[in-house]
Amino acid sequence: MHVIGIPEQLVPSAEQMIDTFDRMIARQNAFRDKHGENVIYDIQYADQLRDPIGQMRKLYAHFNEQLTPESEAAMVTLLADNSQGKHDYRLEEFGLTAAGMRRHFQDYCERYDISQREAAN
């Protein structure tokens, strides 16, 4: 696929991204409310960064699935070969503030026990 357009028109605005997150949160909350909390397995972002393979083991165990040695090895390889590296974005680049984002997503952070420290990172 080839997209033609002015680059500024191809990059979603901060408002569009927030709206997308709001819709994703509402949909998964509705799904949980209908089917139960355990149908979705939550992984805290900080935990995923700290121990990605350990988190995948917990995810597989939660759903009573076997994480095969081959799958785990593939995950380890993917992590080692990650050519994208770390992305470093600042809210201010998008006209946003940490305080504003904490206010906007306060209910979400409270429901899923996301600490203010983690939310600020």
- Chain centroid to Cα 115, Å, comes to 15
Segment (H or E) for 46: helix 45-50
Q: Does the model's pTM come out above 0.85?
A: no
Confidence check: pLDDT of 117 > 70: no
Q: What is the pLDDT of residues 51-109, one digit of tens each?
A: 999 999 999 999 999 999 999 999 999 998 876 666 778 889 888 999 999 999 999 99
| Cα atoms in the Cβ-side hemisphere of radius 13 Å centred on 67 | 16
At residue 2 the predicted structure's pLDDT band, cuts being 50, 70 and 90, is: very low
CA 13 to each of CA 81, 88, 96, 109, 116: distance values in angstroms, whole numbers, following the listed order: 31, 17, 11, 23, 24
Q: Between 100 and 7, name the one with better pLDDT.
A: 100
Angle, helices 69-80/52-62, rounded to nearest 10 degrees:
150
Tokens representing 2 are: 């080839």
Q: What is the DSSP letter of 13?
A: P
Provide the pLDDT for residue 119.
47
Q: What is the pLDDT of residues 11-29, one digit of tens each?
A: 678 888 899 999 999 999 9
Amino acid in the structure at residue 44: Q
